[in-house]
Amino acid sequence: MDKQKILIIGHEIYTMSAFIRFVIDDPHEVFTAPDEIEGLEILRSEQIDLAVAEMYIEDVDGIHFVQCISAEKFQTDILLRARSESLNLSIIETEAVSVFPIMR
């Protein structure tokens, strides 16, 4: 069975390391990128099943990242995480097929 390929994009090492520990074991192959640019390079070179990205990656917002993925027609599921409960979901929904906000 092929391993699921997961790309984790983010600059906050403590937060991202928790995701990495969660998915590092079989059947996952985990790729990491500190920013959108490296994340897009990995998406171009690998067939990624799931991309996990922070809403704010360095000086770029997650909406721009989703727009780049959409423009290049990648067939990748995206989990976009954010700290704020005041997200403008209508903006996200314009670039996404489905949006499932999870508030805690």
Write the CATH number for 35.
Answer: 3.40.50.2300
Q: How many domains is the chain built from?
A: 1
Token reading at 48: 């990624």
Residue 42: which domain range? 4-95
Residue 104 lies in a domain: no
First-to-final CA distance of the chain? 35
pLDDT of residue 65: 79
Please tell me the distance from the alpha carbon of residue 7 to that of residue 33, in angstroms, as a whole number: 8
Residue ranges with strand state E in the chain: 4-9, 28-33, 50-54, 56-57, 60-61, 77-81
Chain centroid to Cα 2, Å, comes to: 21
Residue 11 lies in a domain: yes
Most confident of 35-39, 77-81, 91-95: 35-39
Domain-located, residue 100: no
> What's the CA gap between 58 and 48, in Å, rounded?
22
Residue scoring higher pLDDT (25 or 97) = 25
Q: What is the pTM of this model?
A: 0.74
pLDDT bucket at 93, cuts 50 / 70 / 90: low
pLDDT in tens, 23-77: 776 688 889 888 888 999 999 999 999 888 877 666 666 777 778 888 888 888 8
Please check whether residue 51 lies inside any domain of the structure. yes
